[in-house]
Chain A
Amino acid sequence: MTVTAQRVHGPEEYLATAQEKFLQRAYLLPGLFSDPEIFRLEKERIFARAWHFVAHESEIPRPGDYVVRYVADDPLIIVRTESGEIRALYNMCRHRGMQVCRAEAGNAAFFRCPYHGWTYKNTGELIGVPFHREVYGAEGLQRGEWPLISVRLESYEGLLFANLDPEAIPLREYLGEATFYLDFYLKKSTAGLEVRGAPDRWIFPANWKLGADNFIGDAYHTAFTHRSTVEVGILPVPDANFHKDGPQAIVGPWAGGYVPNLPYAALYPHLVGTMRANLTPAHHAIMDHDLWQSHSTLFPNVSFLNAPGIMPGTAPVAYFTLRVWRPLGPDRMEIWSWYLVERDAPEEWKEASYRAYVLQFGTSGTLEQDDTENWSSITKVAKGQLARTIPLNYRMGLDHLQPLTDWPGPGQAYPVDYTEYAQRHFWTTYFEWMCSNSR
C-alpha cells in the first residue's frame, strides 16, 4: 500500500478528518499523538472542562494537610481546612501571580506569598496585606474580594476530582454508571483505602493519550511487551496471554477489562467477605464467574489497575495502582502513580503488596519500563509529516464480536479482552470533546 502525504491544513481540519476516519473505519491518525496545535486545543476543550483526579483523601488526613496537584499546567493546592472540609485553591497570589505554596506537600494554617507578603488562610481567604491602610488608602483594600480562587472539587469514595469549569456537570453525574466499575477498586474494604507514601512522578517524551489508551483496553500488548516479566516469574500468571479470555466492558467515561480465573486468591482472605457485603448482586455475579477487574481508564487521563504480584515466600499478593497521565506538551507527559491499599489489611500483607507494585509498576517497574519505552517511540515517529496521514488500525473485534447479552454490569461488555472496543470508546469520547465547542 502506498500512502501519499495528504495536505491537511490547521488543527480543526485535521481533527475533523481524523474523527471521520475513526468513526467510519476505526482508523486513527497519528498526528493526534504529536501535533502542538491539537495539544493546545486539548488543554482548552478537555483539560479545562473535564473532571480530573487530583488526590486521595487519605493523603491529607489532618486539618492543614495539603498537597499541590495539577490539571495540565494549572496548579492547585488541595487542602483540608480546620473544619475538615477539603478545598482546591488555585496556587496563585492575587497580587502578582506568585505561587503562594512552593512545597509539594505539608501542613499549614496559612499560605504567605513570598513576594509581597500577602497572607491567605488555608480556606483561601485573604487575611493579611502588609501596610494595608497606608498603601491602599484609608478605606483599605477590600480583602474579601481577593481570595485565592477556589476551584470545584468533588469526591467519590475518597477520590478527589477537580474541575476548572464552573459550568461542568457534577462529578456524580459525569461518572454515571461508571461508579459500578470504580466500586470494584474502591469498596473492597469497609475501612477504605489509604495512599502509601507519595505518588511516584516521572517525566518523559511521550503523548499522554498513549497511557490512557493502553490502560483502557490494551490487554493484547501484555503478551508481547511484557513477555519478559512473565517469563522470569515476577508476574504470577500461567502465561503471557493470561488476559485474552476475560471480558471487556464500556460505560460512560469509563472502560476496562477483566482477567478470568485469577480470583480473589491474591487478596487477603477476609476481603472476599467484605467485598460481597459492600457490593451489589450484579457485582457478585461477576465475582462468581471468577473474574477479576484489572485495567481501566476514566476519561480523560486517570487509569486504574488491579494486578497480582509475588514476593519470595509469599502467596500471590494483589496491588492496586491509580495513575494520572499529566500532559506537559504534545510530546511530553508526567506520570503520577499512586499505590493504594485497604487500610485494614495486615501490615505484613501491605508490605508484600507494596513491594510487588514497586517490582512491576512505577519508575522502575519491570512492566512499566517497557510501556514507557513503547510510548516514547510512538510519539517520536508520530512527529513525521508522513506519519500524520498513515492510519493506525483500531479495528480489533469490530467485525466479528457481538456484545454479551447476559452481562450483569451496566454499559456494554464484549466476550474477550483481546479487542479494541474500549480504545474505540476512548477515542470516540475524545472526538466528542475535541470536535464540539459546546460539548
Chain B
Amino acid sequence: MSAVSETILREIEAFLYREAELLDERQYNEWLALLSEDVQYELPQRVTRERSQGEGILDGTGHFLENQWTLRKRIERLATEYAWAEDPPSRTRHFVTNIRVAPGEQQDEYLVRSNVLVYRTRGDDPTYDVLSAERSDVLRRVDGSLRLARRRVLLDHSIVLTRNLAIFL
C-alpha cells in the first residue's frame, strides 16, 4: 500500500498515461505544459561496473541534462521543417507500468517511480528499437493540477540501442 490515498494514486496514474499519450502522439507543446517551470529532466550515463563498485550510474553527466529552456528548444526544433531525425516521425509507444507513489518532501509533492518500455520504429525498416528504463519523478501540484518537476530516467543499457534520442522517455 502506498502512503497516499487511492484517489491520488488514480490521479497520478492518469497523469502518467496522459503524458505517455502526448509523447506517442507527438503533441510536444501539450507535453511541455505538463512540466513545472523549474523542471529537471535527466537521463544519466551508465557504465558496466563490478557489483562492488556500484551501479555504474554517473553523477553530473547524461544523455539528457535538461531544463525547461533546453526542452523547449528541442521541441521548437522538432516543429521546424528541417528536423530530419523525426520527419518522417518515429512511431513510438510508451508502456508505463509498475507505478509506485510515495509522499514527497514538500506538501503537494509526490515521489513517483514507474517502469517504462519504449518501442520505436522508423520508416519501412523491418526492425525496431526497445528502450527499457525506470523513471523516478517528482510530481508537484500547481494551481490544483499536477506538474512534472523532476524526472531521472535510469536506462537499463550502457550502450543506447537506437540511432538517437530524438524522442523523450
The residues of B that contact A241 with a CB separation of less than 8 Å are none
B60, B64, B80: the one within 8 Å of A231 (CB):
B80
Contacting pair B160 A200 (CB below 8 A): yes
With A104-B48, A106-B50 as known contacts, state yes or no: A370 contacts B83, CB within 8 Å: yes
In the complex the two chains form, what is the Cα distance from A352 to B8 in whole Å? 38
Q: B3 near A: Cβ within 8 Å?
A: no
Report yes or no: A204 in contact with B82, Cβ–Cβ below 8 A.
no
A339 cross-chain contacts in B, Cβ below 8 A: 61
How far does the Cβ of A350 sit from chain B's closest Cβ, in whole Å? 10
In whole Å, how far is A38's beta carbon from the nearest beta carbon of chain B?
Answer: 22
Report the minimum CB–CB distance from A69 to chain B (whole Å).
Answer: 12
- In the bound complex, do residue B161 and residue A103 qualify as a contact, i.e. CB atoms below 8 Å apart? no
A363 & B160 in contact (Cβ 8 Å cutoff) = yes
| Interface of chain B residues 60 through 100 with chain A (CB within 8 A) | 60-65, 67, 69-70, 73-74, 76-77, 80-86
Question: Known contacts being A198-B61, A232-B76, A364-B165, is A103 close to B49, with CB within 8 Å?
Answer: yes
How distant is the Cα of A234 from the Cα of B164 in the complex, in angstroms?
18
Q: Given A232-B73, A366-B77, A203 and B159 touching (CB < 8 A)?
A: yes
A191-215 to B contact mask, C-beta < 8 Å, 1/0:
0000011101111111000000000
CA distance in complex: A372, B127 (Å)? 16
- Min C-beta distance of B146 to chain A, whole Å: 25
Docked-complex contact B163 and A201, CB < 8 angstroms: no
Count of interface residues, chain B, beta-carbon cutoff 8 Å: 40
Considering only CB atoms, which chain B residue lies closest to A380 in the complex? B125
In the complex, what's the smallest C-beta–C-beta distance from B169 to chain A, in angstroms?
10
**Proximity bits, A209-225, B CB within 8 Å = 1, else 0:** 00000000000000011
Pairwise interchain contact B164-A104, C-beta atoms closer than 8 A:
no
A165 to B43, CA, bound (A): 39
Judged by a CB distance under 8 angstroms, whether A105 is at the interface is yes
CB neighbours of A233 from chain B (8 A): 73
A104 touches B83 (CB 8 A): no
A228 at the interface (CB under 8 A from B): yes
Q: Beyond the given A103-B53, A358-B63, A364-B64, please list 10 additional residue pairs across the A-B interface where CB-CB is below 8 A.
A: A103-B50, A104-B49, A202-B163, A205-B163, A206-B163, A224-B82, A369-B166, A370-B84, A372-B85, A373-B166
Q: Which residues in B have some Cβ–Cβ distance to A below 8 Å?
A: 43, 45, 47-50, 53, 56, 58, 60-65, 67, 69-70, 73-74, 76-77, 80-86, 125, 127, 158-166
**Considering the complex of A and B, which 3 residue pairs feature the smallest CB-CB distances, nearest first?**
A197-B61, A204-B163, A364-B165
